[in-house]
Amino acid sequence: MTDGGPNLVYLVTGGCGFLGEHVVRTLLEKEPRLRELRVFDLHLGPWLEELNPGTQNVIEACVQTGTRFLVYTSSMEALGPNTKGHSFYRGNEDTPYEAIHTEPYPRSKAQAEKLVVEANGRKVRGGLPLVTCALRPTGIYGEGHQLMLKFYRTAQSTGGWLFRTVPPSVEHGRVYAGNVAWMHVLAARELGSRADTMGGQIYFCYDDSPYKSYEDFNLEILGPCGIRLLGTRPLLPYFLLFLLATINAFLQWLLRPLVVYTALINPYTLSLANTTFTVHTDKAQRHFGYQPLYSWEYSRDRTVSWVNTRKGYPSQ
């Protein structure tokens, strides 16, 4: 973001993605000082497919163009759950936790987050300091959530049933995309006036969505769409699920030269789903006045409505 006095210019990278679209919409609706909105995304045109900006390149672009404020979209997976399956129960940004990553996505998020935090205070063109912060959403849901739509269609293929694979005692934090977008807009807006407080900080994204297992939470959305969850406990023992996940990972590796094979269950997603990871924090509220813009009931109903409108569409 560049500060043009009373008028602000925003650049949203990944602006055509699930969260990016929510950020763009929130800026247009909720940022009165918006003068210009620029959207960058690899899907804008085929000529962009050869570019790989990377987080370090984004930081360097800020330095060279005199852009002073950078809000990075990280993920809870930059921290965990780790590969040892250690629970993170009602933790906050200062809770000790052993971050151990083997998969590319969480490892890259952790590395990028570190680059952004360390870039805080670096001089940009014109001599003023760069001010950065990173936001860590937990599991995001909302309109445009293609994975939720995939769960719906999977259940439709089995007569409207989903089969429980995760114990209901395993809790996860979920957050509505509209509230994540609002936190991004508010953080960007306040970085200039609260640089000493916010600069170089990491914030979990949170709202009033209930703590539940992934499957029980998904049923909050899919239940009103006619889907049911079979079983009060996992129908298959964990070792069989792990065997299936390992087979899926092997098939993915075996078929990689020919086709892209993606399965809902692999060793990483199985571990993620079976490890409690919930946050309880008010750091964003204390540092820059964040409050969820949308209630849980509104967020749920909007997501349910979106799934219902997509029922007749072909799979993407």
Catalytic-role residue among 72, 97, 105, 176: 105
Is 298 tagged catalytic?
A: no
CATH number of 2-309: 3.40.50.720
pLDDT digits over 199-215, tens only? 999 999 999 999 999 99
pLDDT(49) > 50: no
pLDDT digits over 253-298, tens only? 788 777 777 777 788 888 888 999 999 999 999 999 999 999 999 9
pLDDT digits over 52-75, tens only? 357 888 999 999 999 999 999 999
Residue-wise DSSP of 123-135:
B-TTSPBPEEEEE
Query: What does each C-alpha distance from 20 to 15, 43, 168, 182, 239 come to in angstroms?
Result: 4, 12, 31, 11, 38
Token duo for residue 76: 């809870």
pLDDT(228) > 90: yes
Per-domain residue ranges of the chain? 2-309
What average pLDDT does the structure give for the chain? 88
pLDDT digits over 126-168, tens only? 999 999 999 999 999 999 999 999 999 999 999 999 989 899 9
Alpha-helical runs (H) found in the chain: 18-30, 54-65, 104-119, 146-156, 177-190, 195-198, 214-222, 238-255, 267-273, 283-288, 296-309
Residue-wise DSSP of 290-305:
---SS-HHHHHHHHHH
